[in-house]
Amino acid sequence: MNQQELIPHLFRTEYRKIASVLCKWLGIENMETAEDLASETFLAALETWSYHGVPPNPTAWLYTVAKNKTRNLLARDQLFREKIRKNLSQTDVSEESNPIDLSEQNITDSQLQMLFAICHPSLPAESQIGLALRILCGFGIEEIAIAFLSNKETINKRLTRAREKLRTEQVKIEFPGPGEVAKRLESVLTTLYLLFSEGYYSEIDDNVMREELCLEAMRLTFLLIDNPQTNLPAVNALFSLMCFHSSRFEARKGDAGEIILYDDQDESKWNQELIARGAYHLSQAASGNAFTKYHLEAGIAYWHTQKADTKEKWEAILHFYNQLLQLEYSPIAALNRTYALSKVKGKEVAIVEARRLNLATNPFYFLLLGELYNGINDQQAKQYFQSAISLTKSVAARQVLEMKIKRLDVDR
Amino acid sequence: MLIFRHQDGQKVASPEQIQEWMKQTMDWIGGIAAQNKFSGGNGLSFDGCKVVWHNNVVTNGPFGEIKETIGGYIMVKADSVDEAVEFAKGCPVLMGEGNSVEVRRIAKRDGVH
């Protein structure tokens, strides 16, 4: 790896570690300082390495510089020192009694604890995701803005408010107590699930970005699986569904960056290793009595790794969607359930139920209707695809819909 | 609330039949839930069921003395009784002759319902 590739690579893997450890050390009220120190460390690497070459152990170099920068800041700034002293609740903030610990163990612990702190129930989901992307995934403000289809200013404001909230709520960067893990874990899993969905289903037109979001969500979920206290059935179910879905990343990417629909995908491009991992974690998820929406979604995702259109497959999927909707309604589940219904009971039955869904502002509603009318009334189907186009903001989705219309024209 | 009333609780169904009913019921409930109108419900088992009579007389079910039994219920978020009735019409219980679905408003303590 040459230097030009090395620094971005290290930034991806090391920024979050340094930021988490420093934030834990400095206290949550100094979160932004920790982020800045981590960023400055990389800036220093960029400057120094360009002139003097890459040191033999670049990671160790980064850790040393991060520590020095923190030390310098403390030495320089009396006021800041006082603040930190309060956080550490001890008189001696010199490093002898309380060193900044960048050992592997503390890095892992700090990231996990940061995850719990960031996913604090007092923050709205979008702020949780934003902070997670910033601190635990090392995303820049601009990248986060792209991920949220928003602008830098809005994201900056959102993050500032979120940090402020964590400060006023005095959220501790620590592992929740044994009685609390399950409850706190719920909002952590919601955030990770949303982060993954953001990547998998979003209207972002940048393929690389979408995959990146999914992979980060998986990496963070795996942090939970790696820790015995959080290696719980719901976490395994969530990880399993992420594995199943991401197994199709390669297959759904066209040469020109367009999305290749499930039915048109080349199965040989499905990642069998990820499918096998998904199956493993699904079996882990089956231990114990917990039965969550992640279990149901993992079940649905499992069946989607079986390409053949069997009766068994669609009955199972319909069954899972029926249960999922009873547990928690969502428009996308309602639409998918109706699609599964059409596969089990035919399009006519599904059309009747689709009409009752009351989702006439949702582009996917018209996509569904278009699919259901395809072959029954092609003219009508075309109109529905047109309606979907007028409602969607995504270029990729529009391409897919236009292709569907074109196919209808060819078929006739 | 939609209450499923079965005319004859003593009828014994085969496991396959029960599974088929279950599937149909799940599909029916799924359709209501897909409209975001489902709010809860339960099937009621006959296992270990008892009937408590006046003077604390307790008998075992199934119930020869009772013409109708309740097989389960679901609660829906309907905007009107008519809408609830439309939901009820799709209930698979109604495929059995003599069975019925009772539609009842849940009494709220707001003085209105």
| Structural domains in chain B plus CATH codes | 2-8+15-103 (3.30.70.1060)
**Per-residue pLDDT, A315:** 95
Q: Is there a contact between B23 and A358 if contact means CB atoms under 8 Å apart?
A: no
A322/B27 Cβ within 8 A? yes
Name chain A contacts of B34, Cβ cutoff 8 Å.
321, 325, 329, 333-334, 337-338, 353, 356-357
Residue A2 has pLDDT above 80, yes or no: no
CB–CB contacts below 8 A, A to B: 47
The percent of residues above 90 in pLDDT, for chain A, comes to 62
For residue A97, pLDDT over 80 is answered with no
| Residue B64 pLDDT level (bands cut at 50, 70, 90) | low
At A323-347, the pLDDT tens digits run 999 999 999 999 999 999 999 999 9
Query: B40's torsion region: left (phi>0), alpha (psi -120 to 50) or beta?
Result: left
Q: What is the pLDDT of residue A180?
A: 86
Q: Contacts of residue B42 in chain A, CB cutoff 8 Å?
A: none
What band does A211 get if pLDDT is binned at 50, 70 and 90?
confident
A95 contact partners, CB below 8 Å, separation of at least 6: A67, A71
Interface with B, mutate which of A322, A323, A339, A362 (most B CBs under 10 A): A322
Which pLDDT value is given to residue A94?
Answer: 55
**B38-43 vs B69-76, strand pairing mode:** antiparallel
Asked whether the beta carbons of residue A315 and residue B23 sit closer than 8 angstroms, the reply is yes
Residues of A in contact with B26 (CB under 8 A): 319, 322-323
Among candidates B23, B34, B38 on the partner chain, residue whose Cβ is nearest the Cβ of A338: B34
Nearest of B20, B70, B77 to residue A325 by alpha carbon: B77
Q: What is the mean pLDDT of chain A?
A: 89
Kindly state the average pLDDT of the residues B62-83.
84
Q: What is the model's pLDDT at position A90? A: 47
- Which pLDDT does position B113 carry in this prediction? 46
pLDDT band at B110 (very low <50, low <70, confident <90, very high): low
Q: Are A169 and A120 in contact (CB under 8 A)?
A: yes
Q: Which of B73 and B113 is assigned the larger pLDDT?
A: B73
Q: How confident is the model at residue A143 (pLDDT cuts 50, 70, 90)?
A: confident
Query: Residues of A with CB below 8 A from B33's CB?
Result: 322, 325-326, 329, 334
The answer, for B21 touching chain A at a CB cutoff of 8 Å, is no
- What is the distance between the terminal CA atoms of chain A, rounded to a whole angstrom? 54
Predicted local distance difference test score (pLDDT) of residue A291 = 87
d(CA A332, CA A40): 43
Cβ <8 Å between A333 and B34: yes
pLDDT for the residue numbered B65: 63
DSSP annotation of B3 reads E
Average pLDDT over residues A127-149: 88
Segment A219-270, tens digit of pLDDT: 999 999 999 999 999 999 999 999 999 999 889 888 877 778 888 899 999 9
Nearest Cβ partner of B38 from A321, A326, A357?
A: A326
Phi-psi region of A243 (alpha: psi -120 to 50; beta: other; left: phi over 0): alpha
d(CA B16, CA B22): 10
pLDDT at site B35: 95
Query: pTM of the entire structure?
Result: 0.85
**CB of B34 closer than 8 Å to CB of B86:** no
Contact B34 A353 (CB under 8 A): yes
Instruction: Considering only the beta carbons, identify the residue of A315, A325, A341 that sits closest to B33.
Output: A325
* pLDDT exceeds cutoff 70 at A205: no
Cα dihedral across residues A107, A197, A140, A209: positive or negative: positive
Percent of chain A with pLDDT over 70: 95
